[in-house]
Structure 1
């Protein structure tokens, strides 16, 4: 028998969150120019937002100097008009940059999802038959529809927002350290607390999000099979059992979804309340520094505004975290499909031409897995023109034999020949063209 025969189950390896995220981002990288433009626009929008938060400092300083008589009222009017006009321009540019970044990110996410869906369809048509035997049609359809839609939502909404808010968070912290190192220490005390909470919630939320998607796939699969087999179900009076199974699957999905939603929704209120505590602490310490340590009203006002600005990206990151976790869970299911092995193709395979039809099984051993052997040392010769019937109970291996002849599965031991030539030396698609089923 040809030594190029390979037994391949096609089973995928487990995927972790880091690998999943990196792989998902690689699809975005296929449109590098568009991705670069989106990042640049997001960075410009972030800088504009940071400046508008800081701009309150010179405005307060101008008003303070006017009240103290350091500058005249006319000078106050001119300086304020100049500052506010410049601020209005920055606001307008920030809005424009944000709009363009969001629009282009939507376009980028649509291109990415299109590539993923096309790759899934092409891969499914070449995948080992074992996958289709183990996976219901409804579950497969759920991966093409529900899971891909969640990926699209995660890329266009959560991913773009999280990039912008991460930039805003880093920039805001930098500005705050520049304005007051002492107040920055108060603010940074909160960061480890936020990190600990987020890491804990991440661990549980991701697990429940994946369980939710698996339960949804099982539910869709059962619904699809029940609808297709409705007449058979009624013929055998299986309505009650079918209803109970549907009730069980629906209840399982409800419970998994409830756990996923409760866990992920905890992030936003916890982050917001911790940020409010931080805001109050900054106000107390900042007031003390302003009264006794000479911290200016302008820098203090800007810092307090920055503290509120710091809370916004943290809250937005927490708010979009749920979508991102669902998207990563959906991505794992999609990549699980894409990681199943395709049917092997070799340039050394030959075309099956002028087929006579002599099929020989020689000491064939086959099992769908190593622990459950279906055919054990089976040998026979089916001559061209003969009519042969395989008779046996369910599970005896009748359909298995026809599947092996068509190379839907590879045997563990033995040899199968067609007209004296090993079927593993024949191009599998050429082989199947000569078989009628």
Structure 2
């Protein structure tokens, strides 16, 4: 079994204390729930005792007025029991849903603050499981977890005590069947625990497969691999089916076995009780009460197996959630300095960076971009261009060296404030399934429709947006599937500019557009870069010939720097790149 699917300890005190920590804001309701469950457990044995009293004192003597009164009392007890169960079930459900809402919000807030390295190292499917499935499992911990287990155990103790008080001989006969019930329950618990783990793993594999292959459906169809992928899906789905059948089989065996044991115990009680009644050593009311006690006694035993498994799964899920909540491995250390008045003077000093320890992708990088200047980064794929600009927004943190903006260490800036001042346009544009306007403003209410239109006109995106159905209210669907690559690129450019940043980062921003659209963007850049610092990454050298400085990177090192003309005169790395594109 994978480490991810371990079963955990049922009574892990540390984990249980953390679960209670989430309950603290609602501790009054929680203790009210515990009290209600305890009271309900105490009410359960009352009806058998009332029936025993009624049979022995009123039915046998034909006292119908008293019999009618006792029936009303028993109905009242049943109604009270039903009311207690209803209120406790509602409070348990309310607590469960409220707490998992709080935990999900905390977990998502944590995820939002993690560095991109975390998402590089963690599969998306696992994060979805944490924020949805694992947290949902906690709801069962409150509805069928510790409080319910405590209620079942109290009910067992109370019923056993009442049975011993009523007739110790029948109680011993009843207890003779307990080892068989406990043994079958334990075997069921262990089997169902294993099958639950298999089901959970099968569900995770199925979800991952479906998510990955639907996302990459174009590749599947391009290479005519539908039959192959279909066969793979059939196998994964069969594993999922078989895992579920195992758990169904366990329930199908356990409950009939439990019923047989209960029936055997009831039969022994009827056999012995009947003999005692005939010998005038026991009343009919006592025997009737004990038949009811048998059902009440074995009911919680049967439920305990499920409740322990539920609690165990909840402990495992909580452990995973807490591991993510408590982890600071990928957390970003937030500074205190506001970047509201940023000017845009950027300086890298002897910067070293590695995605994995010691495997440096940037080596001793140093350069200076003055306020309002445009610097270009060029080089082959894997040279370190994108890594350089990712460091500026602190998507990743450097290993060695310093990065300064306006002579202030980058790590001293408040992260939210810093990123508001840096506009980024990436080569791979991501659009949410929402309107054009939302994808530009990202829900920022301070950005008006007029500002969006103004920025779109400057970029040259306004005309094509207006031609779309509903214009700026047009829903672009998931990942902007209904738009062309060039249109998505233009929208991302508007998105960066409408926030009025002091620093603009263009990471291959024009590599995916046609010549006409690229011309449009270049014209917009000429207007919008005035007064702003710009860092441009481009494969097309024609787009960066007017840059204040060009850096040529190779294998994480700066090989050359200078203006377009200066670098051509050196007849080095840049001249070679230039000749490959224009000769």
* Correspondence 1:18 to 2:11: yes
Pick the aligned partner of 2:349 from 360, 368, 388: 360
Provide the rounded CA distance (Å) in 2 between the counterparts of 1:100 and 1:378. Answer: 65
Higher relative contact order (CA 8 A, sep 6+): 1
Gapped regions of structure 1 (runs ≥ 5): 1-10, 67-72
Q: Is the partner of 1:388 in helix, strand or coil?
A: strand
Counterpart of 2:216?
Answer: 229
Counterpart of 2:506?
Answer: none
Counterpart of 1:47?
Answer: 42
Report deviation, 1:59: 1.8
Provide the rounded CA distance (Å) in 1 between the counterparts of 2:389 and 2:229. Answer: 32
Mapping of 1:7-406 within 5 angstroms? 16-19=9-12, 20=15, 23-62=18-57, 66=61, 73=62, 76-153=63-140, 155-156=142-143, 162=149, 164-263=151-250, 266-287=253-274, 294-318=281-305, 330-341=317-328, 344=331, 349-351=336-338, 353-362=342-351, 364=352, 366-368=354-356, 373-375=358-360, 378-384=363-369, 385-392=374-381, 399-406=386-393
Provide the rounded CA distance (Å) in 2 between the counterparts of 1:247 and 1:374. Answer: 40
Is 1:154–1:327's contact at 8 Å kept on the other side of the alignment? Answer: yes
Provide the rounded CA distance (Å) in 2 between the counterparts of 1:22 and 1:258. Answer: 35
Q: Deviations over 1:181-224 (max 9, x none)?
A: 33333333444444444344434433442443343233223323
Is 2:181–2:258's contact at 8 Å kept on the other side of the alignment? Answer: yes
Q: Is the partner of 1:18 in helix, strand or coil?
A: coil
Is 2:10–2:311's contact at 8 Å kept on the other side of the alignment? Answer: no
Is 2:377–2:385's contact at 8 Å kept on the other side of the alignment? Answer: no
Q: Deviations over 1:272-308 (max 9, x none)?
A: 3333333233334444555669344433332232112
Residue range with higher mean Cα deviation, 51-60 or 331-340: 331-340
Report deviation, 1:122: 1.6
Is 1:151–1:331's contact at 8 Å kept on the other side of the alignment? Answer: yes
Provide the rounded CA distance (Å) in 2 between the counterparts of 1:287 and 1:149. Answer: 50
In 2 relative to 1, CA 400–101 (structure 1 residues): closer, same or farther, beyond 3 Å?
A: same
Q: Is the partner of 2:378 in helix, strand or coil?
A: coil
Q: Is the partner of 1:391 in helix, strand or coil?
A: coil
Provide the rounded CA distance (Å) in 2 between the counterparts of 1:108 and 1:116. Answer: 12
In 2 relative to 1, CA 421–266 (structure 1 residues): closer, same or farther, beyond 3 Å?
A: farther
Counterpart of 2:550?
Answer: none
Counterpart of 1:415?
Answer: 401
TM-score (norm 1): 0.77
TM-score (norm 2): 0.60
Q: Deviations over 1:40-82 (max 9, x none)?
A: 333333333310122122122125753xxxxxx5xx2343233
Gapped regions of structure 2 (runs ≥ 5): 425-583
Residue range with higher mean Cα deviation, 244-253 or 157-166: 157-166
In 2 relative to 1, CA 86–29 (structure 1 residues): closer, same or farther, beyond 3 Å?
A: same
Q: Deviations over 1:352-384 (max 9, x none)?
A: 54441122344x36353x5xx431782121331
Q: Is the partner of 1:386 in helix, strand or coil?
A: strand
Is 2:362–2:387's contact at 8 Å kept on the other side of the alignment? Answer: no
Is 2:337–2:412's contact at 8 Å kept on the other side of the alignment? Answer: yes
Between the two proteins, the alignment pairs up a number of residues equal to 411
Report deviation, 1:175: 0.9
Q: Deviations over 1:151-184 (max 9, x none)?
A: 4355446777655444432321121121123333
Report deviation, 1:250: 2.9
Residue range with higher mean Cα deviation, 201-210 or 315-324: 315-324
Provide the rounded CA distance (Å) in 2 between the counterparts of 1:103 and 1:336. Answer: 30
Q: Is the partner of 2:403 in helix, strand or coil?
A: strand
Q: Is the partner of 1:378 in helix, strand or coil?
A: strand
Report deviation, 1:336: 4.8
Report deviation, 1:347: 7.2
Is 2:10–2:308's contact at 8 Å kept on the other side of the alignment? Answer: no
Q: Is the partner of 2:53 in helix, strand or coil?
A: helix
- Bigger radius of gyration among the two: 2
Provide the rounded CA distance (Å) in 1 between the counterparts of 2:247 and 2:320. Answer: 16
Is 2:34–2:147's contact at 8 Å kept on the other side of the alignment? Answer: no
